[in-house]
Structure 1
Amino acid sequence: MARFLAGLVLGVVSSGIAWLITHNYGWTAVAGVTVLVLVWLGEFILDDLL
């Protein structure tokens, strides 16, 4: 549950930063979803790499 909430918060923060820089909905969505997915799946990705 903590990873889920961290993914949501970090996804929103990254979307906000992308919006402030680009003012483009597409880049904002890509940044938010990318961070969200990387946080949610980060444990599995790191396990495979290590």
Structure 2
Amino acid sequence: MIRFLFGLLLGAVGAGITWAVTESPGWTAAIGITVAVLIWFAEFILDDLL
């Protein structure tokens, strides 16, 4: 649950920064979702890489 909330928070922060820089809804959504998903699944990704 902590990882989900952390991913949600950092995804929102990433989306906010992207919106401030580009003002593009597509890029904003892509960055926000990508950051959140990478944090949510980081444990599984790192296990496969190591």
Q: Which category of TM-score, normalised to the shorter sequence, fits these structures?
A: over 0.9
Distance in 2 (CA, whole Å) between partners of 1:47 and 1:4 is: 18
C-alpha RMSD of the superposition: 0.3
Runs of at least 5 residues in structure 1 that lack an aligned partner in the other structure: none
Q: Could you list the structure 1 runs, at least 4 aligned residues long, displaced by more than 2 angstroms after superposition.
A: none
Aligned residues: 50
TM score, norm. by length of structure 1: 0.98
Instruction: Please show how residues 5-20 of structure 1 align to structure 2 within 5 Å.
Output: 5-20=5-20
* Residue equivalent to 1:35: 35
Distance in 1 (CA, whole Å) between partners of 2:22 and 2:14 is: 12
Distance in 1 (CA, whole Å) between partners of 2:12 and 2:49 is: 27
TM score, norm. by length of structure 2: 0.98
Distance in 2 (CA, whole Å) between partners of 1:31 and 1:21 is: 12
The amino acid of 1:40's aligned partner reads W
Give 3-state SS (helix, strand or coil) of 2:7's partner.
Answer: helix
